[in-house]
Structure 1
């Protein structure tokens, strides 16, 4: 019962972060699912893969719904999304396949290292908290950067927002525009990742209620509570000032890092 409550709260929080920060699942879902699954007999050796795979599946629904809402509100910029989304999708296929070849603990360590690097970049390098002058993404950034984002995001189950938001922020976009773009850019990662984790984890989990590495029970609970969290955010949380938005983004990354490290 306690595990269900924790999952529902995590899902509700994920719904809030999807709308406010473009985090469709990964940074909130992965730590909670990891600790819950790791405590179950026979599943501990697959805990990180299950957490990442389930997080990836949750992102399909969260990022998809948020994208529809942003599109209806006219907040999606096609010049930013394309062709970046195609390169991210290509990288996501490779990242998902690579994750199936790595041991569970290796993925966990990579997740923690990735958080540390991202936090250091946001805090120590100029151009994130204080928005610089707007400039276009170069062809190299779109192509090679997009593939890199797709590989890392699918490998660690974090969507792409943790890289696309800082990337767009450093190119002069407001946080709300970064977040609006982050959700659709996370969809190809989520779809490619979920399909790959389903096939690579087929018959790998010695328990019922799994589609490959994806826990169907946790997926349903997270998706339902996440939808409630998104509705709550849209209706009850006012617009956040740009600089405060960036600072809270960094604080959230730090909180998830501590959760995974402990």
Structure 2
């Protein structure tokens, strides 16, 4: 039964990566947390493992989605650079900070992060409609990039939940914002995965198939079915921007409810 649940999570991750730039975290973290909690109910590292495995999934999903969007010429280099460099710096800080944060606190921070993001999208003007295009100031790129990288890596959610609202409020439609979110997630995923895989102490025997804090068996299933989800999503019809934005927020609400319950 667990393998079916993980496969569904992987497929859903692929779809949401391509359509909403999630790359893995919002779907993977709750599912992996639930599966491992059932297997090891007294383990104090379950949330850390869910975050680490989610981060590794993002490497594959974000890279695959970025490749597809590059072929479609949807990615604007002026948005990506230099923001991606500051996100990379923040990613290092977030991954190192995770050692100082308890499993229980990470779960609480994940929920708070999601609730703040949902409220920001709903109650602040500019997310559900396309505004006149305005440039990202250097301060926003520096401070915003470091903040995005650190929070996203610490919680294993990718950067889309912060980059997409940021770009939407600067006049970019959902399609362009999602396309940019995937390459901007890559430094978060790559740096976080390296630290979780090779610099994290692990108390698990090789029989459990772990590399650091990353569960290799779960990762493999998620990557395979995630690729299938991305391939299918490429053939779905284009979604109108206002509807695209509303579905994005609705999915954030669903994931928040799932991790709370």
- Please give the residue correspondences for 1:1-262 in structure 2 after superposition, counting only pairs within 5 Å: 2-41=1-40, 44-206=43-205, 208-235=208-235, 237-262=236-261
Deviation at 1:201, TM superposition (A): 2.9
Could you report, residue by residue, the CA deviation over 1:196-249 in whole angstroms, capped at 9, with x for unpaired residues? 1113433333453000110000000000000001111112x1100000000000
Residues 100 and 197, structure 1, Cα contact 8 Å, conserved in 2: no
Runs of 5+ consecutive residues of structure 2 not aligned to the other structure: none
Deviation at 1:42, TM superposition (A): 6.9
Deviation at 1:75, TM superposition (A): 1.0
Residues 31 and 260, structure 1, Cα contact 8 Å, conserved in 2: yes
Q: Distance in 1 between matches of 2:101 and 2:204?
A: 16
Could you report, residue by residue, the CA deviation over 1:82-110 in whole angstroms, capped at 9, with x for unpaired residues? 00000000000000000122110000000
Q: Distance in 2 between matches of 1:19 and 1:56?
A: 16
Larger deviation, residues 82-91 vs 41-50: 41-50
Larger deviation, residues 38-47 vs 13-22: 38-47
Runs of 5+ consecutive residues of structure 1 not aligned to the other structure: none
RMSD: 1.1
Could you report, residue by residue, the CA deviation over 1:124-159 in whole angstroms, capped at 9, with x for unpaired residues? 110001222110000100001100000000000011
Q: Distance in 1 between matches of 2:34 and 2:171?
A: 38
What TM-score does the superposition give when structure 1 sets the normalisation length? 0.97
SS at match of 1:44: coil
Residues 37 and 43, structure 1, Cα contact 8 Å, conserved in 2: no
Q: Distance in 1 between matches of 2:42 and 2:208?
A: 12
Q: Distance in 2 between matches of 1:81 and 1:214?
A: 28
SS at match of 2:40: coil
What TM-score does the superposition give when structure 2 sets the normalisation length? 0.97
Residues 25 and 58, structure 1, Cα contact 8 Å, conserved in 2: yes
Deviation at 1:40, TM superposition (A): 1.7
